[in-house]
Structure 1
Amino acid sequence: MDPRIREHAEIIANHSVDLQAGDNVVVDAHPVAEDLVVALHEVIGDAGANPVTTSQRTGKRAQRAYLRASDDEFETPAHELALIEETDVYIAIRASDNVTQTADVDPEISAAYQQAHRPILEERLSTRWCLTQFPAPANAQLAEMSTEGYENFVWDAVNKDWDDQRAHQQHMVEILDPADEVRIVSGDTTDVTMSVDGNPTRNDYGEHNLPGGEVFTAPVPDSVEGEVLFDMPLYHQGREITDVYLEFEGGEVVSHSAAKNEALLTEVLNTDDGARRLGELGIGMNRDIDRFTYNMLFDEKMGDTVHMAVGRAYDDTVGEGNEQNDSAVHVDMIVDMSEDSFIEVDGERVQEDGTFVFEESES
């Protein structure tokens, strides 16, 4: 086994989820990620914890068969919820043998399925959880990389000094955390403002998401005004959506379009009332992620990007007394900030063309 896989497993256990003796652990993984699952079981055994492996999250072939055979009436599966209620640590491993496996599932069926599984999502988020990536060949193919090249890319981004990364990102936390208003401008297609007043800024250095590499917070839901062109593609429900355009008034999306799969974007926005409002503003800061790979877990962390998510706001990014945007979905979309772009915080420019004001002093 590649020693980097064992290192990956140890970072998950010791850094991301703080694995303890006696913990009940769910490892949710596609079979193609078996090497990482095996390494995790070694680490879990060393710690004296109790593992069980499932493929609910990433067994897309089986999920496709189920959803295509179903109507749009779903109930929350009590047995699955019961498993998570007894879980201390939840580790989800992204990997695929076909990244478009669910492309022919009706979006309305997928949305109904997500709604029914929302209590399970809420319960998972109350555990010590981590979402990570195993470098499977299908994911390498989507990234237009060789398998070996993609393996190097993934482990360079994952197996790193997370204390150093935390210190680098803390500069941006200290700027954003006490702020009121943020403005994002990119070319003549994106100019959007939002309040983050009273909402905490979080430093993602590889705890819940591995790799980490962003700072993020929640906009005040009704404060978002302006327009955004998300000029980097995203994959959602096995389909590519490109050039997503959203126009906001009073915090809500009042107009939208996409160059490809606009109907799927419409389904996302129609999931519930909260799906038409922003739940997250994130700023990418991981310089080891230096290329776009059609994988949001990595792409949203690139240093020359910002991302915004329609839908659910994370509990720990909403200040006491502030409204939390609530939704069954959380869909991230990315703006390239490398050229003709800037971020302003309370009127002060803190990033221009992808470079932060504090990066010169760090070098």
Structure 2
Amino acid sequence: MIENAKKVLKTNVNVAEGEKLAIIIDSTKREAGELFYQAGKEIGAETVLIQFESSGKSGAEPPSIVADAMKNCDAALCITEASISHTKARIEAAKCNTRVATMPGLTLDMLREGALTADYSDVKKNGNLLAKVLDEGKEVVIRTEGQTLTFSIDGRRSKASNGLLVNPGDSGNLPSGETFIAPIEGTANGEIIIDGSIADIGKVAQRVLLKIREGRLVEAEGAEGEELLRLLGDGNGRLVGEFGIGTNRAARLTGTILEDEKVYGTCHIAFGTNTSFGGTINAGIHLDAVTKTPEIYVDGKLIIAEGKIRIE
């Protein structure tokens, strides 16, 4: 396990002897954190382990002392239950040239198999193909079991998260493998079926129908849909903030959104904060919902179908 953690630190985060490495955890991730702490020490990095009590809400800011630590190191691994990927703390750390890997929901099983074991050159290739299409596109149409959701991406830039955080200021999820973009606020309309998983809830027991009007989630069917609405609250948390496509062939649908949203050929819609990647929504929360086999069109061209990327 420690050898696998060392491989992640070296290959994905480029941690070297003598560098300052911060392993940041909440109380639920002590065992995983200690593995990476030991791995960092064996590499020869100046390694510290910092634990804080999480609010349990993805998108919430960590304590200021944690944010300060993230800005004052060469690399930071954030191994938490609730995600801090879309926070000011992560953005400011990257601006200070810290290489930041966010690993919300990481399990020990992921160190043995799954998305972390991917061929990241293939992940990069898939991600860049999709990024080119999204960056040049204006309108996205998602079809799921007879339901259709449309929104504009005109003028927005996508991000291909390929899991190689090797340069100063690089940041992203680990394990990784998604290309995502912030839809134009207020343009999303229609319905989408969620049959994979939902962040902070897990795998859905039965499909959840989400109804979206003028960029806002207005209805979600079923018990898990009601729980999603409760978690998002009544404010900006219900605004459509992200559209993403999974690009990692090794990723599995496990009920942990960190890996689920990376599964090759899936898509996810997220609600809440998107200021960290080009949007204007600040909600203090960011929750993703995964669809397993969507049909996705950009400007009328089919790019995803039957779990495969259809771009030549």
Partners of 1:241 and 1:265 within 8 A in 2: no
| 1:259 CA drift (Å) | 2.5
State the Cα deviation string for residues 288-332 of structure 1 (Å, max 9, x = none): 12x31111111101113100110011433x2xxxx5122101101
Q: Is the 8 A contact 1:235 1:241 kept in 2?
A: no
Instruction: Return the alpha-carbon distance in structure 2 between the equivalents of residues 163 and 304 of structure 1.
Output: 17
User: CA, structure 1 residues 134+329, in 2 after alignment: closer, same or farther (shift >3 Å)?
Assistant: closer
Residue in 2 aligned with 1:177? 135
Shift of 1:159: 3.8
* Counterpart AA for 2:102: L
Residue 32 of structure 1 aligns with an amino acid whose one-letter code is E
Residue in 1 aligned with 2:231?
268
Task: Identify the residue that residue 99 of structure 1 maps to in structure 2.
Answer: none
Question: Which is greater in Rg?
Answer: 1
Corresponding residue of 2:102: 131
* CA distance 1:3–1:87, shift in 2 (3 Å): closer
Distance in 1 (alpha carbons) for counterparts of 2:140 and 2:215: 14
Q: SS at the partner of 2:11?
A: helix
Quickly say closer, same or farther: Cα 1:347–1:37, change in 2 above 3 A: same
Measured in 1, the distance between the counterparts of 2:121 and 2:66 equals: 35
- 1:134 positional shift: 5.5
Contact 2:203 2:254 in 1 (8 A): no
Q: Please report the RMSD computed on the Cα atoms of aligned residues, expressed in angstroms.
A: 3.3
For the residues of structure 1 that align with 2:243 and 2:253, how far apart are their CA atoms? Answer: 19
Note the residue ranges of structure 1 that are not aligned, 5 or more in a row: 68-74, 96-109, 141-149
After superposition, the Cα gap between the structure-2 partners of 1:240 and 1:205, relative to the gap in structure 1 and judged at 3 Å, is closer
- How many residues are treated as equivalent by the alignment? 293
Q: CA deviation at 1:235?
A: 4.9
**C-alpha distance in 2 between matches for 1:187 and 1:298:** 24
Residues 276-315 of structure 1 aligned to structure 2 (within 5 Å): 276-289=238-251, 291-315=252-276
In the TM superposition, what whole-angstrom CA distance separates every residue of 1:204-243 from its partner, at most 9, and x where no partner exists? 100311222111111001110001221123351x777654
Residue 355 in 1 paired to residue 308 in 2? yes
Conserved? CA contact 2:140–2:153, under 8 Å: yes
1:43-122 to structure 2, matched below 5 A, reads 43-45=43-45, 50-56=46-52, 77-93=63-79, 120=89
Percent identical pairs in the alignment equals: 25
**One-letter amino acid of the structure 1 residue matched with residue 250 of structure 2:** D
Distance 1:125 1:294, change over 3 A: farther
Amino acid at match of 1:326: N
The reply on whether 1:26 has 2:22 as its aligned counterpart is yes
C-alpha separation between the residues in 2 aligned to 1:164 and 1:81?
Answer: 33
**1:116-144 Cα deviation digits (max 9, x unpaired):** x96546545644310237542xxx5xxxx
Counterpart residue number, 1:250:
214
Q: 3-state DSSP class of the match of 1:219?
A: coil
Aligned-partner Cα distance in 2 for 1:356–1:76: 36
TM-score relative to the length of structure 1 = 0.70
**CA 1:230–1:125 in structure 2 vs 1: closer, same or farther (change >3 Å)?**
farther
Does the CA contact (< 8 Å) of 1:308 and 1:332 recur in 2?
yes
Higher helix share: 1
Structure 1 residue 287: Cα displacement: 1.0
Kept after mapping to 1: 8 A contact 2:273/2:284: yes
Counterpart in 1 of 2:113? 153
Trace 1:305-344 onto structure 2 (pairs within 5 A). 305-316=266-277, 318=278, 324-337=280-293, 341-344=294-297
In the aligned structure 2, how far is the partner of 1:81 from the partner of 1:214?
Answer: 25
- Structure 1 residues 87 and 183 mapped into 2: Cα distance closer, same or farther (>3 Å)? same
TM-fit CA distance, 1:92: 1.5
